[in-house]
Amino acid sequence: MIESAQVKANPNLLVFVPILYTVWSDAILTPSEISVLEGLINSQGWLTDTEKAFLLSKINPATPPTADELMSWRSAISQVADPKIANETLVNLGIRLASLTGDGTISETLVQAKPSLSNIESTLGLISHEAIFNFHTGHKTITSEQSTQQNFSVSEMTKILDGDYSEIIKKVKTFISDPEFQYMSPGDLMLYRTRVLQWCKFLAEQGFGAMAYPKEYGGKGDMGSYFAIMETLSYHDLSMVIKFGVQFGLWGMSVYFLGTEKHHKKYLKDIGTLELPGCFAMTETNHGSNVKGIETTATYDHLTQTFNIHTPNEFARKEYIGNAALHGQMATVFAKLIVDGKDYGVSALIVPLRDKKGKVLPGVTIKDCGRKMGLNGVDNGVIYFNHVVVPKENLLDRFTSVNAEGKFESPIASDNRRFFTMLGTLVGGRIGIPRSGNSASKSGLTIAIRYGDQRRQFGPEGGTEVPILNYRTHQRRLMPLLATSYALHFSLQYLTNRFLNRTEEDMQEIEALAAGLKSFATWNTTATLQECRECCGGKGYLSENRIEVLKNDTDIYTTFEGDNTVLLQLVAKSRLTEFKQEFSNMNVFTILNYVADQAKTSITEMNPITIRNTSEEHLLDPEFQLSAFKYRERDILTSAAKRLKKHIDSGMDSFDAFNVCQHHLVQVGLAYIERIILEQFILQIEKTNDAGCKTTLKKLCDLFALSQIDKNKGWYLEQGYMEGSKTKAIRRLVNQLCWDIRQDAVPLVNAFNIPDACLAAPIAVNR
């Protein structure tokens, strides 16, 4: 068209070029667009019939412009496109293009035709100022301009995260960054398991495994550092972490906590150096989470001063036991203690499995569980005992013992209380697993967020491609998960400190807290890693970028140390017990105070003004956020208690009543844990001194709190605690917080300070 005879005869025809280019740039003209253009062309009185026919041929779908024609049109238009001109239109571009011929002035014909020509843009629905960007480069928008900034000190944030354990964390990170810890493929199962064992030996040589044991047995008596070590190791191979945990945690700690001095002297030093590999044989095929129902027996024979360990049936076998298939030489075996024909409940005994050369001992049968979804560096096995005899001193006798006369003794008379006290000493496993899972979440988030900051895709017309982390949907997927990982970090620190400074009176609450946080954190890990995989697209699917192995290895965490759904019911029962005790101890004045508190909630939180309050100041107020969490927790707990009481009062068996209310009980546990997590995040912000870190942590805390409220908005609306205008405002604010936190996202994952050798994902390399 540019070089055609018609244009040479009448250069004013060039006024149509920008419009024609724009409508053809989508590769197809719709019938309605053709109709509009035909009407426009035919209405132009200054065109001859020949010129009209020529222009109409340019919108004929049967003869679309060639690629070369489109390129020549674009090239010509670019000569007159000026990004500095405000409110530019396609018609103005066409007029300037036509004026390039002749003396450079705008013809009177086009001045008169401009109004009718301008109608076409609005009629076709063209956004002129955006269409113009097709013809020049450098177009910038709010989305394309958003970028990573440095609003706080990354090193200060790392110090806040590491807390009192920064030195041991730094030491572990340095150690596992050594070339000896280079990752290997799990393809060769035997080679992989051997390598994982060697890694654990390296760690034992540094004293990491024995860290929590008393100094007289080769340790440092530092349980806090042990948990920090486990968490930090979880930035590396998780098979190594679990094997480390089985050996030094479950096996070693069971001897330490359930045994007495004679056991400590005999075993702990060798366990801590990995001279004595061992197992923790609790789980049975038929009784996974129901430890109290295990069927393995330990029958005492007073004449020989021995216990006979026996697997009475196929389904009483010990299953999924770490270290059993290849390396374990001894095991802490949980069994029903039979003395004088009486069953005294579950106790623990040390039972040899193999000799020093690795040969399985008589009466013991071990089978390999084989390849799993993940954690294939851990040699899980199945163990059967066929009347294996062990000496009396192998009974771990802190809570259960047999005296010189062959009679059962215990400092705790109640079977139930003794059982739960024994298991309570082993709650450390439910602290280590969620901390490990949160480390895996941090690894996944670091990979996905760094990649999202670098990976560019799409962009505005005339502009460069935009980092995918700038897209609102991408932010909405990752930023709440980043906030949750920080929130969990501080709540898990709180749980650890409670456990380290525990008293007997605190143990029930600590066990419930551990069970709940383990459930919340490991479910969050599973969800986080899946989202990270999807946010990295095909790159996230490549094994080299490690999200695959993180997903596979942590998948079991939701059922490790207890199935999450079952654990949350344990949490709920603990909360109901406290609730019952609270009311049973009430006198008339306490009851009146409780009623007054409920009335106060109605006045301050559920009045017509508050339930509709959508101001940012209100929604970002930690008092509002925590009050909303507390109200939900208390209301769900109260309604669950009333519901259970109603069923039981009607004559329903309590077991059936709990079964009917199971889903409700899970919500009781979740509401309690969510409140704890938010509470600890708020407390952390209050004690943070660095201004930049404090501001950034407040944004993360707000995002965590409001995301949870948004997730539960249906409940709040049902209860009349909020109205629709408020939940909509919360959703808008969540989106805005995601936008704001995006600029801090890379520094926030950098503050995790995960060694590059551990991260080992090519797409996560800082450029």
Query: For the chain, which domains are there?
Result: 5-136 (no CATH), 178-426 (2.40.110.10), 430-764 (1.20.140.10)
pLDDT bucket at 145, cuts 50 / 70 / 90 = low
DSSP labels, 136-158: SS----HHHH------S-HHHHH
- List of residues 6+ apart from 758 with CB closer than 8 A: 173, 176, 177, 235, 236, 443
First to last CA, the chain: 47
589, pLDDT greater than 50: no
Q: What is the pLDDT of residues 612-664, one digit of tens each?
A: 888 999 999 999 999 999 999 999 998 888 888 888 888 888 888 888 888 99
- Nearest residue to 127 (alpha-carbon basis) of 407, 460, 431: 460
426, pLDDT greater than 80: no
CA distance 270 to 88: 81
715, pLDDT greater than 80: yes
- List of residues 6+ apart from 507 with CB closer than 8 A: 421, 424, 427
How confident is the model at residue 591, as a pLDDT?
42
Q: What is the pLDDT of residues 271-281, one digit of tens each?
A: 999 999 999 99
Question: Are the C-beta atoms of residues 549 and 464 closer than 8 Å to each other?
Answer: no
CA distance 762 to 546: 9
Question: Are the C-beta atoms of residues 539 and 456 closer than 8 Å to each other?
Answer: no
- Nearest residue to 330 (alpha-carbon basis) of 280, 258, 269: 280
Residue 96: both structure tokens together: 């300037």
Q: What is the pLDDT of residues 199-241, one digit of tens each?
A: 999 999 999 999 999 999 999 999 999 999 999 999 999 999 9
Q: What is the pLDDT of residues 676-691, one digit of tens each?
A: 999 999 999 999 999 9
314, pLDDT greater than 50: yes
Q: What is the pLDDT of residues 361-402, one digit of tens each?
A: 999 999 999 999 999 999 999 999 999 999 999 999 999 999
Greatest alpha-carbon span in the chain: 123
pLDDT bucket at 406, cuts 50 / 70 / 90 = very high
- Nearest residue to 226 (alpha-carbon basis) of 32, 402, 431: 431
Residue 51: both structure tokens together: 């010129």
In angstroms, the Cα distances linking 363 to 353, 366, 612 are: 9, 10, 71
How confident is the model at residue 592, as a pLDDT?
42
Quote the mean pLDDT of the chain.
88
457, pLDDT greater than 90: no
Average pLDDT over residues 240-262: 96
Q: What is the pLDDT of residues 519-565, one digit of tens each?
A: 999 999 999 999 999 999 999 999 999 999 999 999 999 998 889 99
587, pLDDT greater than 60: no
Q: pLDDT higher for 488 or 129?
A: 488
Q: What is the pLDDT of residues 335-367, one digit of tens each?
A: 999 999 999 999 999 999 999 999 999 999 999
How far from chain centre, in Å, is Cα 678? 16
462, pLDDT greater than 60: no
pLDDT bucket at 126, cuts 50 / 70 / 90 = low
User: 3-class SS at 67?
Assistant: helix
User: 3-class SS at 571?
Assistant: helix
Cβ–Cβ contacts within 10 Å for residue 184, how many? Answer: 14
Average pLDDT over residues 76-102: 75
From the number of C-beta atoms within 10 Å of its C-beta (0-12, 13-18, 19+), residue 389 rates as middle
CA distance 420 to 511: 10
- Nearest residue to 17 (alpha-carbon basis) of 96, 112, 102, 82: 96
User: 3-class SS at 411?
Assistant: coil
How confident is the model at residue 588, as a pLDDT?
43
How confident is the model at residue 598, as a pLDDT?
53
Question: Are the C-beta atoms of residues 21 and 78 closer than 8 Å to each other?
Answer: no
User: What number of helices (H) and strands (E) belong to the chain?
Assistant: 33, 11
**H helices present in 605-621, as ranges:** 616-619
